[in-house]
Structure 1
């Protein structure tokens, strides 16, 4: 195993542990707004997908780009759907849309 791969794995594991600690400390009343906002901000993943698409040269590369684009689209769409559902709780009877 190369030194760079070991460093990448170390950073990944540490980021997972820190992310879990941060998210687990969020109170339940803030969890939905925080997660919906974070999912919406993850639209930057589309920029990464476009950069990967420009460098894809094989069938495997195109498959990886397609899967990344699909997951990015689901993540961003889910963020907006959760935000919309959360905001409908605060609308009055006349403003609720079906």
Structure 2
């Protein structure tokens, strides 16, 4: 148990260090990749839950599906917000070709 806890703490420190060193222009592509991974995790959680032999594992699988769904949707919301930061705030409107002079 101590070994597992030690690995968890070390992984958390390494994760914080790695993420803090990423420049802001790379966060959106990284979030897109993370969303793909979370989608795979969600499909795996659904498949494992569908084949669970008893009610306890089914409940645990349902919690895993719920958390993976929240994580996936949250990732897409964050990615959308980050992409909005790079879009033009007051982009000039292009004149339409309809209704012009003939």
Query: What TM-score does the superposition give when structure 1 sets the normalisation length?
Result: 0.63
Q: Match of 1:43, SS?
A: helix
Contact 1:38/1:79, CA 8 A, preserved across alignment: no
* Count of equivalent residues: 89
- 2:32 is matched with which residue? 37
Gaps of 5+ in 2: 94-102
**Max radius of gyration: which structure?**
2
Contact 1:36 1:83 in 2 (8 A): yes
Structure 1's unaligned 5+ residue stretches are none
Q: TM-score, normalised by structure 2?
A: 0.62
Summarize the Cα distance change of 1:49–1:36 in structure 2 as closer, same or farther, 3 Å threshold: same
RMSD of aligned C-alpha atoms?
Answer: 2.8
